[in-house]
Structure 1
Amino acid sequence: MSAGWPRGRAGQAIGLLGGSFDPAHEGHMAITLEAIRRFRLDRVWWMVSPGNPLKTRRPAPMARRIAQAERVALHPKIRVTDIEARLGTRYTAQTIARLTARYPGVDFVWLMGADNLVQLHRWQDWRQIVDTVPMGVFARPGDRLAARLSRAARVYRGAQLPMRAAEGLARARAPAWCFVNLPMSAVSSTAIRAGGDWPAG
């Protein structure tokens, strides 16, 4: 259920997967389930954003995207939420700052695909993000090399944990990030929209 604030208790390890989810699909689910397993997470919150500041295209209505996400996220450890709209934040750094203040003692982990690591340096206050919470990065087809050579990866090379240490990521002190190389589906929200299975508006 997306209504209300998600529950988070001190001592829990909670993954944060943000995005437009326009629409949510099996790739989001694959990342989430692998994150729960690899990083020993108690919960993962899907944060359906009002909009992406780096994208000019307007997403489908929020209620529609949340409803689709809830149809996909059929797992007891996944919570679909409109928390960014509730917080009134526009940028990820702001959202994380507000969440860490609102949920003291919760060990948050920011989850993202390797394609986002490539462009992370373009995000507002991106260093603040890396310095505040550990990050779990998942390989997507075609993005592995670019992600490893990205500006963020180079700047924080010394903070990278090996895959064999992934289960300790949530308890690690930021900056800390772990790159998980997975054989993943090439499905994407962009491809789904282009195929006409998710009409605009």
Structure 2
Amino acid sequence: MKKQIGLFFGSFNPIHIGHLIIANHLVEHSALDELWLVVTPQNPFKEKQSLLNNHLRLEMVHLAIADYPKLRASDIEFHLPQPNYTIHTLAYLEEKYPKLHFALIMGEDNLKNLHKWKNYEQILSNYPIYVYPRLSEGTVSEALTSHPNIQYVRAPIVELSATFIREEIKKKQNVRPLLPESVWQHIDKLGLYL
């Protein structure tokens, strides 16, 4: 049987404890063998100005997951055309790793907007999607909640955003408890987000 790999896409600007809680919970409480944190250079739905350099964000992901053997950092999207569309990344991964089987990890807030994604029907029919709970406005359509490829995972609800962390750092607030220790030290040492 093919090894099951969960893909958790994000800007990780910076990676924080919320990301780690979700990633670890999913890899421990699902059929996934590994979970890859895919650092996205350019999300088509986000502004690029506020993004830290790709390699700095990737380095922070490596630091954050050093003690988690089932988690991997991935720079796969650094080598693909931008903005990054999930469907293109999946096609590339299928070709590069034919012995692996990929699944998507997303928050319920992203599932509500799945219909806006490029070729979302193709993603939906070909890949399992593990959905973790998020507090957000609106509801998910019945067609999605009952879809056979969508699996809700009872993960902790973590309402923590990288945007909030960046704003707090700018104001010189102590965000140390919100970040893995190695990431906090790295940000502090390099004076990132000030």
TM-score range, shorter-chain basis?
A: 0.7 to 0.9
State the match for 1:21 in structure 2. 12
Measured in 1, the distance between the counterparts of 2:112 and 2:105 equals 14
Equivalenced residues, count: 171
AA matched with 1:91? Y
Measured in 1, the distance between the counterparts of 2:111 and 2:128 equals 13
The partner residue of 2:158 within 169, 178, 185 is 185
Contact kept? 2:4, 2:102, Cα under 8 Å: yes
State the match for 1:114 in structure 2. 108
Instruction: Report the RMSD for the aligned CA atoms in angstroms.
Output: 2.1
Measured in 1, the distance between the counterparts of 2:156 and 2:97 equals 34
1:72 aligns with 2:64: yes
CA positional deviation for 1:50: 0.9
CA positional deviation for 1:96: 0.8
AA matched with 1:193? R
Question: Normalising by structure 1, what TM-score?
Answer: 0.77
The partner residue of 2:27 within 33, 36, 48 is 36
Q: Deviations over 1:83-136 (max 9, x none)?
A: 011233620111112212222232211001112112222222222211221000
Gaps in structure 2 of 5+ consecutive residues: 170-174, 176-186
Contact kept? 2:26, 2:155, Cα under 8 Å: no
Aligned counterparts, 1:20-169, within 5 A: 20-58=11-49, 59-74=51-66, 75-88=68-81, 90-140=84-134, 142-143=135-136, 146=138, 149-150=139-140, 153-160=141-148
Measured in 2, the distance between the counterparts of 1:73 and 1:190 equals 21
Q: Deviations over 1:9-57 (max 9, x none)?
A: x710111011111111111111111111221321111110111111124
AA matched with 1:15? G
AA matched with 2:113? Q
Structure 1 SS opposite 2:8: strand
The partner residue of 1:12 within 3, 21, 36 is 3
AA matched with 1:122? K
Structure 2 SS opposite 1:47: strand
Contact kept? 2:3, 2:101, Cα under 8 Å: yes
Q: Report percent identity of matched pairs.
A: 32
